[in-house]
Structure 1
Amino acid sequence: MKITSIDIKQYLLPLEPPFKAAWDPEPRKKFATTVVYVHTDEGITGVGSGDLMMGFEGNEHLFIGQDPFAIERHAQVIDNIDFHYGRCWPLDLALWDLMGKATGQPVYKLLGGRSNKILAYASTGEIVTPEERAVGFVEQGFKAMKIRFHHKDVRDDIKVVEAVRKAVGDKLEIMVDANQGWKMPWDVESTWDLKMAYQVAKELESLNVFWLEEPLPCHQFDLMAKLRDKVGIRIAGGEMNRNWYDFREMNKVGALDVYQPDVALAGGITQTKKVAELVQGSGAWFSPHTWTNGIGLLANLHLAAAISNCPYLEFPYDPPAWSNDRRDYIQKDRLMIDSDGYLVAPEKPGLGIELDEEALRKYEIRHFYVGESGNVPV
């Protein structure tokens, strides 16, 4: 089998009302999706998505004529492209989808097949009063949820956690995302320092919060390690660290309890699996970030179900602003937990993607401008 061609197509979904992401002062009015299609001489096509594939154009020839199963070779080439141009890891996802289809196996089985399911936590995206939403999550079967911080006064954020804990008691585990790890290009506000992160972590520890995510900038490995040593709450992060050696260094200093690289953003399935094995071998958890789109979520699900020791996987879900219909708009099937709170990996060969041809025709565009109206939620 040989790769014969690679197509990249773009789609844009209008968002009305806009999605007001906690980490971005600009409301999201459109949702951009890039899909990569890898075609072969045997008529099998692999599909991947989750990032914008910027910088890939002109590099297709590096893969044409190659065996799609030479995944280590391809991952190295994508890593080189990442260094020179941009993140093109959806190509790795498409190759895994292709390999699964060629062998007649779901990707989670190719990766180790520890399980085909994992408990999902409802990951909210907007700053709202979430008590009623939390009760609704319990009724839907969720066992955990994540709350976003971003009020001007962090004491108001803590009050939100107090209200949710009062509303649901011990029926939900609560995670908190401080969103201090990275910034949108136009965000010039200061981030927390170690003392602020410590004070917040101690408050959340008293509320039995399951983990505190990104309480410090993502490059401050030593400070995260100091914070982790000082508090009892788990410290999570790494969702936007794009280089494998970042995770090597974080692991070396013991920066995190929960490592969150996203296969669509940093390393694909091929390299992220290695990161997961590294950190789990040191006693930490691997629980990937999944805020890209439904295909990116599926890819992370396959890897997490196959190898992760962490009991939970992120499930981007904050209806109506961020619903299954918006997240999965180019797919036939909307991903949702089962009655017991589990996300179950599809048993179909590959990633189990079924594209909605009508939606593809409706939302395809020739090019989108990546700005305030065309960002992929993260």
Structure 2
Amino acid sequence: MKITSIETKHYVLPLDPPFKASWDPNPRTKFSQTVVFVHTDEGITGIGSSDLKMGFEGYEHLFIGQDPFAIERHSQVLDNIDFHSGRPWPIDLALWDIMGKATGLPVYKLLGARTNKLLAYASTGEIISPEERAERALAFIDQGFKAMKIRFHHDNPKDDIKVVEAVRRAVGDKLEIMVDANQGWKMPADTDGTWDLKMAYQVAKELEELNVYWLEEPLPSHQFEMMAKLRDMVGIRIAGGEMNRNWYDYREMNRIQALDVYQPDVVLSGGITQIKKVAEMVQGSGAWFSPHTWTNGIGMLANLHLAVAISHCPYVEFPYDPPIWSNNRRDFVQSEQLMIDSDGYLTAPEKPGLGIELDEAALKQYEVK
């Protein structure tokens, strides 16, 4: 089997009403998605995706005529492209999709198949009042969720903590609560300051009292030593690493034991090929691997396959904050939307490859020519 061509297409879904993401100063009036199609001479096409990426065009020739199963070779080339251009990792996802389709197996079985499902935590995105967040938390319980994540980004962290207090009062011990401090990285328009070690410590101690499961991204993502100090100072789990770009960031964080939970996303860094190695490294040192999945439905699927295959963490992230961030927005190019079962589990598809089913009508409607 040989790769014959690679197509990159871009799609944009208008958002009305806008999505006011806690990590973005600007309300989002559209949701952009790039989908790559890797075609082979045996009629198998692999699919990968990310948010809007414009940096891969011009490198297709490095893969044409190559065996899609030569995944270590391709991963090295993609790593080189990542240095010189945009994040090219959807190609890695598409290659794993091809390998699954060619062997007749879902990707998670090629990766280890530790299980085929994990409990999903509802990963929220908006900053809303404590009362409304508590109401939505109760709705999560009714849907079967066993855990949720609350985003911080008020000007005063005390106002963020009030949200957690309201949710804990409402749900008792029926939900585990994770918190994302949103301090690890910034959107282009965000010029506000970030927490220092003392602020992160004070917030972490408050959250310990509320029995929060983990505190995510409490410090800038490059401050490895500060995160290690914070981890040693508090009892709550410290999570992070969702947007770190290079595999050697994770090697260094693992060396100094900076985190309890590592969250690299196969769409944003390393693809399935490299992040599997990162996950095995950190889990071998006693930490958890639980990937960031907030790109789109295809990215969610790819991370799910790796997580169920090898993760020791009992939870996987499920981007979900209805009514404003719903499955039909997240999965708008797919004909089958992802959702938990009544027991709160998210199950990997049994179809060969990643199990992606595209909505042809949506592709025609939302493609950017």
TM-score interval, normalised by the smaller of the two chains: over 0.9
1:257 aligns with 2:254: no
Q: What is residue 338 of structure 1 aligned with on the other side? A: 341
Q: What is residue 131 of structure 1 aligned with on the other side? A: 134
1:240 aligns with 2:235: no
1:73 aligns with 2:69: no
Structure 1: 5+ residue stretches without partners: 367-378
1:145-294 mapped onto 2 (5 Å cutoff): 145-294=148-297
Task: Supply the distance in 2 between the matched residues of 1:50 and 1:289 (Cα, whole angstroms).
Answer: 13
Please list the CA deviations of residues 147-176 of structure 1 after superposition, one character each: whole Å capped at 9, or x if unmatched. Answer: 000111110110110000000000000000
Aligned length: 366
Task: Supply the distance in 1 between the matched residues of 2:30 and 2:297 (Cα, whole angstroms).
Answer: 16
Task: Supply the distance in 1 between the matched residues of 2:76 and 2:250 (Cα, whole angstroms).
Answer: 17
Task: Supply the distance in 2 between the matched residues of 1:52 and 1:304 (Cα, whole angstroms).
Answer: 24
Superposed displacement of residue 52, structure 1 = 3.1
Indicate conservation of the 8 Å contact 2:55/2:86, yes or no.
yes
Superposed displacement of residue 25, structure 1 = 1.1
Superposed displacement of residue 134, structure 1 = 0.2
Of 350, 355, 363, the residue aligned with 2:353 is 350
| Larger mean Cα displacement after TM superposition, 325-334 or 52-61 | 52-61
Task: Supply the distance in 2 between the matched residues of 1:31 and 1:135 (Cα, whole angstroms).
Answer: 28
Structure 2: 5+ residue stretches without partners: none
Letter in 1 for 2:179: V
Indicate conservation of the 8 Å contact 1:8/1:35, yes or no.
yes
Task: Supply the distance in 1 between the matched residues of 2:340 and 2:325 (Cα, whole angstroms).
Answer: 16
Indicate conservation of the 8 Å contact 1:34/1:49, yes or no.
yes
Indicate conservation of the 8 Å contact 1:235/1:256, yes or no.
yes
Task: Supply the distance in 2 between the matched residues of 1:187 and 1:20 (Cα, whole angstroms).
Answer: 14
Q: What is residue 295 of structure 1 aligned with on the other side? A: 298
Task: Supply the distance in 1 between the matched residues of 2:368 and 2:86 (Cα, whole angstroms).
Answer: 21
Superposed displacement of residue 132, structure 1 = 0.3
Q: What is residue 94 of structure 2 aligned with on the other side? A: 94
Task: Supply the distance in 1 between the matched residues of 2:107 and 2:52 (Cα, whole angstroms).
Answer: 22
Q: What is residue 370 of structure 1 aligned with on the other side? A: none
Q: What is residue 63 of structure 2 aligned with on the other side? A: 63
Q: What is residue 54 of structure 2 aligned with on the other side? A: 54
Q: What is residue 31 of structure 2 aligned with on the other side? A: 31
| Larger mean Cα displacement after TM superposition, 167-176 or 45-54 | 45-54
Superposed displacement of residue 56, structure 1 = 1.0
Q: Tell me the C-alpha RMSD between the 2 structures.
A: 0.6
Indicate conservation of the 8 Å contact 1:51/1:87, yes or no.
no
Indicate conservation of the 8 Å contact 1:51/1:265, yes or no.
no
- % identity of equivalent residues: 80
Q: What is residue 42 of structure 1 aligned with on the other side? A: 42
Superposed displacement of residue 54, structure 1 = 2.5
The 1:286–1:221 alpha-carbon spacing in structure 2 relative to 1, beyond 3 Å, is: same
Task: Supply the distance in 2 between the matched residues of 1:51 and 1:268 (Cα, whole angstroms).
Answer: 14
Letter in 2 for 1:89: W
Structure 1 stretches of 4+ with a deviation exceeding 2 A read: 51-54
Q: What is residue 20 of structure 1 aligned with on the other side? A: 20
Superposed displacement of residue 59, structure 1 = 0.6
Q: What is residue 363 of structure 2 aligned with on the other side? A: 360
Indicate conservation of the 8 Å contact 1:53/1:89, yes or no.
no
Other structure's SS at 2:86 match: coil
